[in-house]
Every structure is written in structure tokens, then in C-alpha cells.
Chain A
Amino acid sequence: MEKPQSLNPIFSVSDFIAVVNQTLDFAYPNVEIEGEVSSFKVNQGKFVFFDLKDAGGSVGCFMMVFQLRVPIEDGMKVVVSAVPKLTQWGKFSLTVKAIRPSGEGSLKKSFELLRAKLDKEGLFAPERKRLLPRIPSHVAVISSTQAAGYADFIKILGDRWGGVKVDVAHVQVQGDSAPDQIIKAINYFNTQQDLPEVLVIIRGGGSADDLATFNDEPLVRAIAASRIPTLVGVGHEVDESLADMVADVRAATPSNAAQILVPDKHEIIRSVGAQLQSLIPRMMRTIESYEVDIRTKLNRALELAVAAVDNRSAQVESLKSILSQLDPRTVLARGYALLRGEAVVGNKVEIETNKAILRAEVLDVKNK
């Protein structure tokens, strides 16, 4: 009697693994799992292996080094985005597409590790910082155009200045795809023929997890490598990101980025008015100086004229005195007499005194 054939299909090992993977791929095309990293290691500088575990279990993970965008180490709580897979050796593992720290402690730890690494490379060195043009005419902005931070930036930019050509790249500013979108936008502007003078990257406030985009290593490196000077304003004043730190200029907020980027036209108008007003005292001082000078000269001229008149008056008085002395009437008043006629005996002569004119005859002449 023949043994009855089984109704279940008989697979080869390879086929079975392929079918399981097909089933897994159908059921879990992409799965996000949170857990703690253990046994983290990098092989040949290319392959990353670690276990993801919690109190109840553990699963092996594999990924490529280039997919590792933030520093990871044992003990860190992370969320992985992965595809479950059965390997050809029958071992179940997760092929990780993306990994990010989860929870405040892990985010902070990852931030500190990457900061130390980039700092060692000199990416935050003050000597790398470039100045922004005082009044740019062409700027590029990378942000989400739907975000409140972007609206604040545009409003304040318009309030403060005008005539600026603003090219905006609309990107996601949070989530797994945000860093790559921002990097693409950075590269896009950096390869334009008409190169913007400033590259502004802005995002409003958010949770530490939301802002983690700006601690992504490839993004931080892309900002550092930008040919265009960068101005980064992410989150609120208290938030600190590696993108801020690597930028040429850090703004505390998107609004602050607009304030840094352009001068305030109202202040310039006030300054121009003040400059104009400052000219009036200068002119008045000169006019007053001229006035004083002219008055001094006039007074001097008057003094000289008075002195000349006084001098002439004195001369006249002196002459009058002399003339007075020479007046024959003065002599007559002193008792002398004026004799008119020839002093010859028998001649008639006229004698004038102060009070009378006498006629007389010369009786005798004696020479002295």
C-alpha cells in the first residue's frame, strides 16, 4: 500500500526562506521599533550590527554605515525604521533603513557625541565663520513654507527692508526625510549660476525630537560645506542645534534671522534725518563765529575812528590855544599897546590899547 502524499507543499530551504521573506515583506513592508541598543559594532568600516532589546526580548539588526546619520552607542534608546528579514542562514534580523535616538537622554547623548566629533574636526572653529553681506540683494531660504517660523521670517524681512530677491526652497523640517530634503536644497542653491549671497535655513520651535533633524550629521556637514555663507535660525532662543553651531551666523529664532539678515529701513530713515539735523548746528556755529568776528572787527574799527577823532580834536584844541596866544587882542588885554605909524619926531602915530585908539605926535626918539 502506498504511503499517502502530504497536502502541504514541500519547499527547498532556499525557497522556504524566500517565501518567508515574501510574507514578511507583504505583512511588514516597513516597521518602526523602539528599543535599547546593545552589542553595537561596525565591521570593515561598512557594516553595522547591533541588537535591539527590551525587558522581554532582543532582535538582531543590520545596516550600512552610510545610513548611520547620528552617533549610536550601547545603552541608547532608539527607534529604527526597518524591514524584517530571514537571512540565508535562517537567522531572523532587521535590515535597518534609518535609526534615530529616542527620548531626551538618548537625544542628548547623541548630540554630545556628534558635537565632540565635529568639534575635533574643527567644524565649529570661529575662523571658519564668514561674514554676511551688510545688505544682501539675493538670498536663498530653506524652510517649510507652511511653518509659522517661515511666515514670521518673511513678515519681519518685509517690515525691515525691501528690494531683496528671495528664492525659497520648500522642504520638510521634521521627520526622517527632512535632513535629506534640506541637504538637496542646500546643494541646489550651491549649484545655481546666479549664486545667492546668503543661505538662510529656518524652522520654528518644536520638541527635541522635532528639532533632531538639525543634529543630523550629513546635514551639519552640508551646511559646513556650503559655498554660500549660511545663516541658521532653528527653534526658540534656548534651543541649540549642531546646524546652528556650524553655520556662519546663528540666529536665535527665524524672526531673529530676518533681523540679522537685513538692516531696519526705519532706523536708517531716522539715522538719515539725524545726520541732516546734525548739519544745522555746524552751520549755526560757523555763522555765530562769523558774527563774533565781524562784531569784533566793527568794534575795533569804531575804536580806531573814535581815537582818530579824539586825536584830531586835541590837535585842533592845541592849535586853537596857540592861535589864541598869537591874537593881538590878547596882548592888548595884558596892557600892551599897538603903535601904528613911523617913529620919526613930528610924525603923527596911532596908539591902540585894549580899550581905546589914540592919536599922538612923536616928540622925541631915542635909540636903545
Chain B
Amino acid sequence: MPRHTSLRRSIIVAIVAWIVFGFVLPPIHLDGKSMEPTFHDGSYHFYWRQSYLFASPARGDVVAIRFAGKKVVLLKRIIGLGGDTIAFENGVLFRNGHPVPEPYVRFRSNWNLKPRKVRPGRLYVVGDNRGVPMSQHHFGQVNSSRILGKVIW
């Protein structure tokens, strides 16, 4: 194969990889146990940046949430949309006054949180690992503009 063809191919592969992994399917390296057992500490995943271009975030979606930028992100599950009322009673999630079955939760401790309404334009997110004390778990309502995309793998 001529050298210039090989070089051209390498450049094309590099550009395609840059576009795909930079703007379409960015990779995430998980550091922490807040999404156990669905996602394990140290594992790699991808989120789909365009997932909410034509659709709205839905309850049950696992999403990437940005902080000041996109290098360090949070991975959480959406359990409530704007207008929903969220509460925890003895570790069981209550949405709009009804208990919600959560097959993805395997570690559950005695979480208790008084009912609170999710404000419009916000989403209520929490990790799947409820085995840790509530005070040590990052969860709550987040502005939907911070959602970077849905985790697809």
C-alpha cells in the first residue's frame, strides 16, 4: 500500500474517532460505587450526546450530569420529572404518593426523605446504590440543562 494512502486512512480514522468519541458517544470512566450494582467502580461506559435532541429525559434513564465542564461528570438515574413529588420511606422510593418498584436496586438501607416537589425544568436523580447512608450519597434535583446525555452502554 502506498505510504500516502496509509497516512490518509490514519488521518480519516483519527478524525472520525475524534468526532464520535468527542461529540457523539463520549466515554466515561466510572470512579465510585454510587451506581452499583448496575455500573461497577472502574468500568467504562459511553453516553449518547444526542439522546435528548428530539426526546425528553424519562424516568429510569441513567444520565451523565456535568459540573463546571465535561471532564468530570456524575452518573445518576432519573427517578422524577418536573412536577413529580419524591419521597423515601424506609428505603422505598415513593413517587407522587405511590411506592415505585426498582428492580435495579439491590443494596437498600433505611433512607427516609420527606416528600418534595421537583421544580419545573428540573429532574430528580439518584444512584442505584442505596446501601450507603443517605448523607454520603449525592442525589437530588438537578437542572435539566446539566444533562449531557443518556448512558447507553
Does A associate with B in a complex? Answer: no
Give the interface of B toward A (CB within 8 A): none
Give the interface of A toward B (CB within 8 A): none
